[in-house]
Protein backbone atom coordinates (compact mmCIF):
# COMPACT_ATOMS: atom_id res chain seq x y z
CA UNK A 1 0.00 0.00 0.00
CA UNK A 2 1.46 3.38 -0.95
CA UNK A 3 1.29 6.50 1.25
CA UNK A 4 -1.82 7.90 -0.43
CA UNK A 5 -3.65 4.58 -0.04
CA UNK A 6 -2.57 4.37 3.60
CA UNK A 7 -3.93 7.86 4.31
CA UNK A 8 -7.19 7.12 2.49
CA UNK A 9 -7.57 3.86 4.44
CA UNK A 10 -7.14 5.69 7.75
CA UNK A 11 -9.82 8.24 6.80
CA UNK A 12 -12.18 5.50 5.64
CA UNK A 13 -11.75 3.61 8.93
CA UNK A 14 -12.62 6.76 10.89
CA UNK A 15 -15.65 7.50 8.69
CA UNK A 16 -16.84 3.93 9.31
CA UNK A 17 -16.54 4.28 13.08
CA UNK A 18 -13.40 2.16 13.36
CA UNK A 19 -11.44 4.98 14.96
CA UNK A 20 -9.47 2.82 17.40
CA UNK A 21 -8.28 0.65 14.52
CA UNK A 22 -7.28 3.80 12.60
CA UNK A 23 -5.31 5.07 15.61
CA UNK A 24 -3.51 1.71 15.92
CA UNK A 25 -2.56 1.86 12.23
CA UNK A 26 -1.34 5.44 12.57
CA UNK A 27 0.65 4.64 15.68
CA UNK A 28 2.32 1.65 14.07
CA UNK A 29 3.06 3.69 10.93
CA UNK A 30 4.75 6.46 12.92
CA UNK A 31 6.31 4.21 15.56
CA UNK A 32 4.57 5.68 18.59
CA UNK A 33 2.30 4.28 21.31
CA UNK A 34 -1.39 4.22 20.47
CA UNK A 35 -3.23 7.02 22.26
CA UNK A 36 -6.22 6.22 24.43
CA UNK A 37 -9.55 7.48 23.13
CA UNK A 38 -12.31 8.81 25.40
CA UNK A 39 -15.73 10.22 24.68
CA UNK A 40 -16.42 13.35 26.73
CA UNK A 41 -14.17 16.35 27.18
CA UNK A 42 -12.16 16.90 30.34
CA UNK A 43 -13.43 19.48 32.82
CA UNK A 44 -12.61 23.04 31.93
CA UNK A 45 -12.67 22.59 28.14
CA UNK A 46 -14.64 25.10 26.09
CA UNK A 47 -18.01 23.85 24.96
CA UNK A 48 -17.21 24.67 21.33
CA UNK A 49 -14.23 22.32 21.37
CA UNK A 50 -14.88 19.06 19.54
CA UNK A 51 -11.69 17.33 20.60
CA UNK A 52 -8.47 17.75 22.55
CA UNK A 53 -5.34 15.83 23.38
CA UNK A 54 -4.00 15.41 26.91
CA UNK A 55 -0.29 14.57 26.70
CA UNK A 56 0.03 13.59 30.37
CA UNK A 57 -2.70 10.97 29.95
CA UNK A 58 -1.80 10.08 26.36
CA UNK A 59 -5.48 10.45 25.55
CA UNK A 60 -7.52 11.94 22.75
CA UNK A 61 -10.81 13.27 24.11
CA UNK A 62 -13.78 13.90 21.81
CA UNK A 63 -17.00 15.76 22.54
CA UNK A 64 -19.39 12.90 21.75
CA UNK A 65 -19.70 9.61 19.89
CA UNK A 66 -20.52 11.38 16.61
CA UNK A 67 -17.11 13.06 16.78
CA UNK A 68 -15.45 9.62 16.66
CA UNK A 69 -16.39 9.54 12.96
CA UNK A 70 -14.87 12.96 12.16
CA UNK A 71 -11.52 12.38 10.40
CA UNK A 72 -10.38 15.99 10.68
CA UNK A 73 -10.78 16.06 14.45
CA UNK A 74 -9.28 12.62 15.08
CA UNK A 75 -6.29 13.24 12.79
CA UNK A 76 -5.74 16.74 14.18
CA UNK A 77 -5.59 15.38 17.72
CA UNK A 78 -3.43 12.43 16.66
CA UNK A 79 -0.93 14.95 15.28
CA UNK A 80 -0.65 16.44 18.78
CA UNK A 81 -0.04 12.94 20.14
CA UNK A 82 2.60 12.34 17.49
CA UNK A 83 4.38 15.65 18.14
CA UNK A 84 4.34 15.09 21.90
CA UNK A 85 5.92 11.66 21.40
CA UNK A 86 8.74 13.32 19.46
CA UNK A 87 9.10 16.53 21.49
CA UNK A 88 7.31 16.99 24.81
CA UNK A 89 7.75 20.77 24.56
CA UNK A 90 6.05 21.28 21.22
CA UNK A 91 3.99 24.44 21.06
CA UNK A 92 1.84 26.36 18.61
CA UNK A 93 1.26 23.44 16.29
CA UNK A 94 -2.41 24.07 15.47
CA UNK A 95 -1.58 25.06 11.90
CA UNK A 96 0.53 21.93 11.42
CA UNK A 97 -2.11 19.70 13.02
CA UNK A 98 -4.66 21.13 10.58
CA UNK A 99 -2.32 20.51 7.62
CA UNK A 100 -1.68 16.93 8.78
CA UNK A 101 -5.42 16.20 8.93
CA UNK A 102 -6.07 17.89 5.57
CA UNK A 103 -3.37 15.78 3.87
CA UNK A 104 -5.12 12.59 4.94
CA UNK A 105 -8.54 13.84 3.90
CA UNK A 106 -7.20 15.03 0.54
CA UNK A 107 -5.69 11.59 -0.12
CA UNK A 108 -9.07 10.01 0.64
CA UNK A 109 -10.90 12.46 -1.63
CA UNK A 110 -8.37 11.91 -4.40
CA UNK A 111 -8.77 8.15 -4.33
CA UNK A 112 -12.55 8.17 -3.99
CA UNK A 113 -12.84 10.71 -6.81
CA UNK A 114 -10.67 8.54 -9.06
CA UNK A 115 -12.70 5.43 -8.22
CA UNK A 116 -16.08 7.10 -8.79
CA UNK A 117 -14.78 8.80 -11.95
CA UNK A 118 -13.86 5.43 -13.47
CA UNK A 119 -17.42 4.09 -13.43
Nearest alpha carbon to residue 26 among 39, 14, 38, 17 = 14
pLDDT, one tens digit per residue, over 34-91 is 999 999 998 876 667 899 999 899 999 999 999 999 999 999 999 999 998 877 666 6
pLDDT digits (tens, 9 = 90+) for 29-50: 999 999 999 999 988 766 678 9
Distance of CA 64 to the CA centre of its chain: 15
CATH architecture of 3-112: 2-Layer Sandwich (3.30)
Render the burial of 17-32: b for 16+ CB within 10 Å, e for the rest. Answer: ebbeebbebbbeeeeb
With bands split at pLDDT 50, 70 and 90, how would you rate the model's confidence at 3?
very high
The answer to pTM > 0.85 is yes
Amino acid sequence: MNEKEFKATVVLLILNGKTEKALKLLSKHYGVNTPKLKVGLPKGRRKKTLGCYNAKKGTIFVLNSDTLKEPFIILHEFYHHLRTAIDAKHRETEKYADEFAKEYIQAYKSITTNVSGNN
